[in-house]
Structure 1
Amino acid sequence: MQEFVTHSREETVAVGRELAKTLPAGALIAFTGGLGAGKTAFCQGLAEGLGCTDPVSSPTFAIVNYYRGPRPFAHFDLYRIHTEGDLAAAGFYDYLDMGAVVACEWSENCAELLDLENPLRIHIERVDETTRKITIG
């Protein structure tokens, strides 16, 4: 278990960027943390660390945002996803099978299904306006 405390959006992005360098192809990241905790900022860092150049945005309405690069990245919002059928329809398993790094916000909605894929768990807690506590493991 690793813990980081960041004091700006840039520091949160940097933690994601560094973690990306250690992830194998097909890695699954299961995020928890409330609205505004910094999950999308962390994912921006992941995308940068994987070599993706497209701007990163929250997948809230699209359910999944896919970023091309030398190491592709699929960023899911599971807020409205609750079943294996929903996950499959969104392409979740396809992205894992093709070796993309997959990150899921609101992972608690599909925790039992994600557990089958042995995810790396990341919890981001909003301490105050700029401070975040990030727990990885």
Structure 2
Amino acid sequence: MEEYMTHCRRETVELGRKLAARLVPGALIAFTGGLGAGKTAMCQGIAEGLGCTDPASSPTFAIVNYYRGPRPFAHFDLYRIHTETDLAAAGFYDYLDMGAVVAVEWSENCADIIARERPVTIDIQHLGGDDRRITINGL
């Protein structure tokens, strides 16, 4: 287990950038943390660290955003996804199979399914103000 404290959005993004260097193709990252915790900010850093050419944004309405680059990145929001059928229909397994790094926000909505893929888990706790406690397991 690794634990980090960030004190502003820029630090959360930077932690994501550094994390990207440690991710292998096909890595799955399962995020937990409340609304506004910093999951998307961290994913923006991961996308930058992977060398993606597209700017990262929240996939809330699209369910998945795919970012091209030398190490492609698929960023899922499972807020409205609760079944394996819906997860598969969104291309989840396709992205893993093609070797993209896959990050899943609201992973708790499909926790049993995600756990079978042995993800790196990242929990982000909003401590008040701009402070975050970020706990990483499985890396």
Paired residue type of 2:33: G
- Which residue of the partner structure matches residue 37 of structure 1? 37
CA distance in 2, matches of 1:5, 1:14: 12
Gaps of 5+ in 1: none
Match of 2:104 in 1: 104
Work out the CA distance in 2 between the residues paired with 1:67 and 1:54. 6
Equivalent residue pairs, number = 137
Alignment deviations for residues 80-133 of structure 1 (CA, whole Å, 9 cap, x no partner): 111110011000000000000000000000000001100000000001121111
C-alpha deviation, 1:53, in angstroms: 2.3
Q: Which residue is equivalent to 2:130?
A: 130
> Which residue number in structure 1 is paired with residue 113 of structure 2?
113
One-letter amino acid matched to 1:70: P
Q: Which runs of 4+ in 1 moved over 6 A?
A: none
Give the distance between the partners of 1:129 and 1:38, measured in 2 at CA.
Answer: 12
Partner Cα distance (1:67, 1:97) in 2: 16
CA distance in 2, matches of 1:121, 1:102: 12
- Which residue number in structure 2 is paired with residue 66 of structure 1? 66
CA RMSD for the aligned pairs?
Answer: 0.5
Is residue 53 of structure 1 aligned with residue 53 of structure 2? yes
TM-score by length of 1: 0.99
CA-to-aligned-CA distance 1:20-61 (integer Å, 9 cap, x gap): 000000000000000000000000000011000211110000
Q: Which residue of 2 aligns with 1:23?
A: 23
Partner residue of 2:77?
Answer: 77
**Whole-angstrom distance in 2 between the partners of 1:22 and 1:71:** 12
TM-score, structure 2 normalization: 0.97
Counterpart for residue 5 of structure 2 = 5
Gaps of 5+ in 2: none
Equivalent AA in structure 2 for residue 24 of structure 1: V
